Structure 1
Amino acid sequence: MEPFQNNPYMGLAGITPEELNFIQQATAELTENQQKYFYMNYTNQRKSPQDMLIFCIVGLFVPGLQRFIIGQIGMGILYFFTAGLCFIGTIVDLVNHKDLAMDFNRKAAFDSHQIAKMGS
């Protein structure tokens, strides 16, 4: 079996150089098996910026959807009951969809790193 160094992360939808950099830093100290485990966990949790844009657009009609998707349940409930903070919060999320995805992906990378280190 060929080493896991071919950088399989390049195939992820909408990956940015910044995201690729922090993933490479997170996996640098992991063994090959741990990197595979990290990859499986991270790709299952990761949200691409394009997906987040779609969630934010749908969030105009279902307030808070984008916040529920990224695990911010409290903000999702607040958006739901205030119609996306009178649509202002939803529009801000729509503009900042890449940042929402990047923040979520950083947390997912951290969680995946911890799981990979414990798993092997």
Structure 2
Amino acid sequence: MNDYSFASLPGIEQEELLWLQELTRNYSTENRQRFLAIYQGRRKEPTIILICCLIGLIGAAGIHRFLMNQIGLGILYFLTGGLCVIGTIVDAINYRRLAWEYNKKAAIESAALLGL
């Protein structure tokens, strides 16, 4: 498996690509393929987070927080209208950072599942 295998992930940015390559640097080709398969299933694409956040501006706020397994914040956003819409706007601006933080946790969990 070459170093370009992670580049095929939709919406991946340079920082995430470099971080994944460093995380899997010592993996064998087989383990890297298994990691990629697990990580693809857990990873959230930044544009999906943005779309769900924008839906929260006109509909049910907090959907993007539920997608990122932040159930408590999702309920809070839902009950307060996205913290009076301000929280939803801030999240819409920072959607890439939110997706990156979630994906970093997903990568660490995926590596832990492999036991490496």
Structure 1 and Structure 2 fold alike (TM over 0.5): yes
Q: CA deviation at 1:6?
A: 4.7
Q: Whole-Å Cα distance in 2 between the matches of residues 63 and 48 of structure 1?
A: 19
Q: Identify which of structures 1 and 2 has the higher relative contact order when contacts are C-alpha pairs closer than 8 Å and 6+ apart.
A: 1
Q: CA deviation at 1:117?
A: 2.5
Secondary structure of 2:100's match?
Answer: helix
Structure 1 unaligned blocks of 5 or more? none
Secondary structure of 1:15's match?
Answer: coil
* 1:116 corresponds to: 114
Q: CA deviation at 1:85?
A: 0.4
Secondary structure of 1:41's match?
Answer: helix
* 1:16 corresponds to: 13
One-letter identity of the residue aligned with 1:74 = G
Q: CA deviation at 1:47?
A: 1.1
The answer on whether the counterparts of 2:3 and 2:21 sit within 8 Å (CA) in structure 1 is no
Q: Percent identity?
A: 41
* 1:93 corresponds to: 91
Q: Whole-Å Cα distance in 2 between the matches of residues 6 and 30 of structure 1?
A: 12
Q: CA deviation at 1:51?
A: 1.2
One-letter identity of the residue aligned with 1:28 = R
Report runs of 4+ in structure 1 exceeding 4 Å deviation: none
The answer on whether the counterparts of 1:67 and 1:75 sit within 8 Å (CA) in structure 2 is yes
Q: Whole-Å Cα distance in 2 between the matches of residues 6 and 66 of structure 1?
A: 31
Q: Whole-Å Cα distance in 2 between the matches of residues 56 and 8 of structure 1?
A: 29
Q: Whole-Å Cα distance in 1 between the matches of residues 13 and 94 of structure 2?
A: 15
The answer on whether the counterparts of 2:65 and 2:71 sit within 8 Å (CA) in structure 1 is yes
Secondary structure of 1:5's match?
Answer: coil
Q: CA deviation at 1:49?
A: 1.4
Quick check: 95-104 or 30-39, which moved more? 30-39
* 1:84 corresponds to: 82
1:1-120 correspondence runs (5 A): 4-60=1-57, 61-117=59-115
The answer on whether the counterparts of 1:34 and 1:117 sit within 8 Å (CA) in structure 2 is no
Let me know the Cα RMSD of the aligned residues. 1.1
